[in-house]
Amino acid sequence: MTTPLRPAERAYSLSTRAGWEQFVTAPPRQRPDPLPLAQISKLPEQARAEYEERRSVWHANLGPLRTPQMRAVHEDLDDITEANRQDGDKVKGAAVIDAFPGLGKSTIAQVFAREFHQRQVSLYGPLTSAGHDRIPVAHVCLTSSTSKRSFNAMLCRFFGLPGHDRGNAEELGHKAADAVLACDVRLCVVDDVHFLDVTRRDGRDVANHFKYLANTFPLTFLFVGVGLERRGLVREGLAAGEEELAKNARRWTTLGVSPFEIGAEAGRRTWRQLLLAIEKDLILAGNHPGMVADDLADYLFARSTGHFASLMTLITRGCRRAVRTGTEELTRDLLDQVRNDAAAEAARQELLAAFGAGKLSARPWRASRSGWRRCPARRSTAGWEPTLTCCTSLSATSSASPGSTAAGPAAASSAARRGCTGSARRTWPR
């Protein structure tokens, strides 16, 4: 009798202390060994099922990928949290991540909060000066029926306080405040803030409650949501012309997250860097350099519209289909059979037509002796390492890239702008 396989998913809720600490302290996930197709086909039935299970969980949890958007927001959040080191008698400003769906807002906030938590415990130890457990970060998610009382109850539930659902709003608020002070909480992440409707009384009450908590709690609030400025949360629902009366507008710093764009060369190179990072992490027998970053660059942008969540959904589902069907490779034919989210599917045909007509391209230009051309797939003995070329070896009369809105400059005149001094430099694809 075979030993049952333990589920590899980490089932925890970030809105409880136990779940949050599991998220913070969990070791890196063990990467499955890549096996050639011939070896996979020879695995016994149970061993093959277990191998497929490990790969499914691995592909469903790729990352976190340090995109330029994540790095930019993290730098701003570090500025905000480290500047909020005032004593308890001073009000601390809040940070707001406000962006469209599918751009990785929650992931950006969670990764920052996890690293903040780890850094605080490393600096100050697991216990406070009073001997309480140090909990540097609290995390809650709002619902469509959030009130002052229910929000305070969420905070009490996070800390696991007895009677977290008993008492009125003020009593629960005092319990939460005591826990925040005792556990040296320094950052509180509040996700799904877009559920608040400031045109309704209960929504305004909660928005005003945030101001009270900012005055009471010696911590930084990080609010995450969709269209928070548009919904009036920053100006607190005040009418046009009264925005100057809104305290939130003076205390909240709004940070945006942009989708990937390919209208400029810098955007195309960033898109390629993302695809290279994803490609390197895929555990498929047919994976090879260029499978994603070269062969599917245009296609994946069309299928995701440059939205990170849509891209990762398509990649994860495509990997599952590739494993299940034995294809063991991501191709356009295989991904054509995979359904993505509704928003991505709605824009799919129009974008694919634009790529097919040559009006768009997600592949960056690469200088060569014969001029400028789109990045080709290239396999080298260096594996995943980038190709090294010297820009001064290129023809000074390299032609502009045909049909490009960001035409390739002549190699000689642009060498200095690219920072090349004549020695070998990294260029795409590898």
| CA dist., res. 252 & res. 234, Å (int) | 7
* 327 and 420 part of one domain: no
Q: So what's the pLDDT on residue 214?
A: 84
Shared domain for 81 and 191, answered yes or no, is: yes
**Cα first-last separation, the chain:** 48
334, 399: one domain: no
Note whether residue 361 is domain-resident: no
Residues spanned by the domain of 220: 68-255
| Ranges in the chain, pLDDT < 50 | 238-239, 241-245, 368-369, 377-430
- Residues contacting residue 384 through CB under 8 Å, at least 6 positions apart: 276, 280, 289, 430
Whether residues 233 and 286 share a domain: the answer is: no
Separation between Cα atoms, residue 273 and residue 302, nearest integer Å: 17
Task: Say what the pLDDT of residue 5 is.
Answer: 78
CATH number for the domain spanning 193: value is 3.40.50.300
What pLDDT score was predicted for residue 37?
95
Classify residue 197: in a domain, yes or no. Answer: yes
97 inside domain: yes
373 shares a domain with 346: no
In a domain, 1, yes or no: no
Q: Are 191 and 327 found together in one domain? A: no
Please tell me the total number of residues recorded for the chain in this structure: 430
Q: Using the 3D structure, point to which of 335, 356, 377 is the last residue of a domain.
A: 356
With respect to residue 3, please indicate whether it lies within any of the assigned structural domains: no
Structure tokens at 306: 């440059």
46 plus 105 within the same structural domain: no
CA 393 to chain centre: 39
pLDDT of residue 401: 40
User: Is there a single domain that holds both residue 300 and residue 239?
Assistant: no
Q: Is residue 362 part of a domain?
A: no
Tokens of 72: 């930019």
SS3 assignment for the chain:
CCCCCCCCCCCCCCCCHHHHHHHHHCCCCCCCCCCCHHHHHCCCHHHHHHHHHHHHHHHHCCCCCCCHHHHHHHHHHHHHHHHCCCCCCCCCCEEEEECCCCCCHHHHHHHHHHHHHHHHHHHHCCECCCCCECCCEEEEECCCCCCHHHHHHHHHHHHCCCCCCCCCHHHHHHHHHHHHHHCCCCEEEEECHHHCCCCCHHHHHHHHHHHHHHHHCCCEEEEEECCCCCCCCCCCCCCCCCHHHCCHHHHEEEECCCCCCCCCHHHHHHHHHHHHHHHHHCCCCCCCCCCCCCCCHHHHHHHHCCCHHHHHHHHHHHHHHHHHHCCCCCCHHHHCCCCCCHHHHHHHHHHHHHHHCCCCCCCCEEEECCEEEECCCCCCCCCCCCEEECHHHCCCCCCCCCCCCCCCCCHHHHCCCCCCCCCCEEECCC
Q: How many domains does the chain have?
A: 3
Pick the last residue of a domain from 298, 324, 356.
356
8 part of a folded domain? no
Render pLDDT for 106-154 as a digit per residue (tens, 0 to 9).
999 999 999 999 999 999 999 999 999 999 999 999 998 899 999 999 9
Token reading at 317: 């589902």
Query: Last residue of some domain: 356, 391, 420?
Result: 356
Residue 389: its pLDDT value, please?
A: 32
Please check whether residues 114 and 243 belong to one and the same domain.
yes
Is position 106 within any domain? yes
pLDDT of residue 246: 58
Tell me: do 189 and 132 sit in the same domain: yes
Structure tokens given for 424: 């070998």
State how far the Cα of 178 lies from the Cα of 159, in Å rounded to an integer: 11
Examine the domain organization and report whether 191 and 140 are in the same domain: yes
pLDDT of residue 92: 86
What is the rounded distance in angstroms from the CA atom of residue 195 to the CA atom of residue 204? 12
Is 323 in the same domain as 417?
no
Q: What is the pTM of this model?
A: 0.82
